Amino acid sequence: MAEIKGISLRMNQQLIKKLADQLKSSAEGALPPGKESEFLGFQMHDGVAYSLTNEAARTFNEVVSKLLGQKQFSKKFSSKYVEKKLKAVFAELLSNPKCDLEKKISDLGDELSSFDQNNIVFLKIEGIVLSACLTIGKVRFVPGDEYLIQNINDKSSAIIKTSKNDEESKKSFKDLIEQQSRSEFQGGCVGVVEVNAEPVRAFEYAKEEVRRAIDLLRFSTKAIYPLSEDIRIGLKGDHPKTQRQGFIASEIGFNTQGDSVGSVLPFEINEDAIRRMDEIGVFLVSDALSKKQTNNLEEALIRAIHWFSVALTQSELSNSFLFLVVALESLFKAERGNSIGGTVAESVAFIMADNLEGRKQLISIVRDYYGKRSGVAHGGNKSITDSELFTLINIVGTTLMVVIEKLKEFSSQKELMGWIEEMKLK
């Protein structure tokens, strides 16, 4: 064990030396501000001012990227945060080229490694009427009521009190936070995510997790509402619904026509909806989303549900069709030498039908749709009807539900494909 630790330490020192050498190389491309560098990116921070050549800037960015790749730093820090920390080290190097650069990089690594700060992120969700709270993955969906707004204001007030601003400034800032939180959240649905990360990365990470949870909610809508209902759910601004108007003019007349973008119905999350979500396996996938390490089949399902969700956000039928086929491709792994189209068609048939005629019909439909998918992807025939799209939504949704149920038995795509092969022999 001691030997393994020693190897790890030496590798770490090698990395530190490499990063120091790259920073020194970048510093050699730092030019003093002036006419000869006026077209280069001007930098001024930590008591220094300079411009970097393009090559020096690329080298500096490589150091940022390598730091973010260490010890899962990317989960806690944004590139902006690491860049700012590294710039402070870079400024010292420019001010004192003889400084112990390796120690300063090592100290920065220790600082990043020991970072421990929990942030709670609140994000507005559109398209949901929340009658019952629920948790999906790492996201709690809660109403934007007085309790939530007061909670946000209490947290901000506690921090504002510790600031060195005068009392009038403190009150102004407190009032502004209360006004903004009320305007953003009151009466709506809010996603709440707790993240151990600096604020910028916490915001980025929270959006990622909320969108993964929303994938499952969009999947749920097709089991709860008619397939034709374009229920629109998303982070604020991601997938809005609206009204649009067209003006039609000719020599003999003038008309206006309007239509709705998205269903007028929101997704109402109540006890009945939660019960239906449980029936179709949403909370089995939710458990997978909250894990630190998912298994192979869980990863495949999360990918497939994501593409299913993406398909539901498309305005063109052909694009929706394409992403639905991609969802199926994410689930089934073809054996070497077998076509992915044939594997998908047979897998769907044996999952959805329990008799020969039903399986033959499904294989024919999926093969035909796979051909249409190729036409869409390669610029051929893009004509997709509503009926074909709804049929494919039904096929993909039902297939996903069956595979979700198999999470209780299987942990890999290989095991899933083995089960399908066994059914072929019966």
**pLDDT tens column, 282-335:** 999 999 999 989 999 999 999 999 999 999 999 889 999 999 999 999 999 888
Residue type, 316: E
pLDDT at position 96, please? 94
pLDDT at position 4, please? 35
> Backbone dihedral region of 113: left (phi > 0), alpha (psi from -120 to 50 degrees) or beta?
alpha
Where the chain has pLDDT below 70, the residues are: 1-11, 34-40, 71, 379-382
Residue 232's Cβ-count burial label (10 Å; 0-12, 13-18, 19+) is buried
pLDDT at position 6, please? 37
Which residue, 66, 69, 299, 80, is CA-closest to 204?
A: 80
pLDDT at position 381, please? 61
Q: What is the largest CA-CA distance in the chain?
A: 90
Separation CA 68–CA 86 (nearest Å): 11
- Long-range (24+ apart) CB contacts under 8 A made by 288-296 are 288/137, 288/407, 289/136, 289/137, 289/138, 289/209, 289/212, 289/213, 289/216, 290/137, 290/138, 295/411, 295/412, 296/411, 296/412, 296/413, 296/414
- Distances in Å between the Cα of 209 and the Cα atoms of 122, 256, 309, 331 are 12, 42, 14, 21
Separation CA 226–CA 233 (nearest Å): 16
Tokens of 309: 């969700």
What DSSP assignment string belongs to 198-227?
-HHHHHHHHHHHHHHHHHHHHHHHHHHS-T
Phi then psi for residue 42, to 5 deg, are -80, 135
Scanning the structure block, which residue is given the tokens 């209490």?
Answer: 154
pLDDT at position 164, please? 84
* pLDDT tens per residue across span 133-143: 999 999 999 99
Q: Give just the sign of the alpha carbon dihedral 193, 197, 201, 205.
A: negative
pLDDT at position 410, please? 95
pLDDT at position 36, please? 57
Q: Are strands 128-130 and 267-269 parallel, antiparallel or unpaired?
A: parallel
Separation CA 170–CA 63 (nearest Å): 39
* Ranges of each domain in the chain: 2-113, 117-144+187-292, 294-426
Tokens of 311: 């398909």
Cβ pair 35, 58 in contact under 8 A:
no
Tokens of 11: 């590798």
Which residue, 271, 272, 263, is CA-closest to 239?
A: 263
Separation CA 203–CA 107 (nearest Å): 26
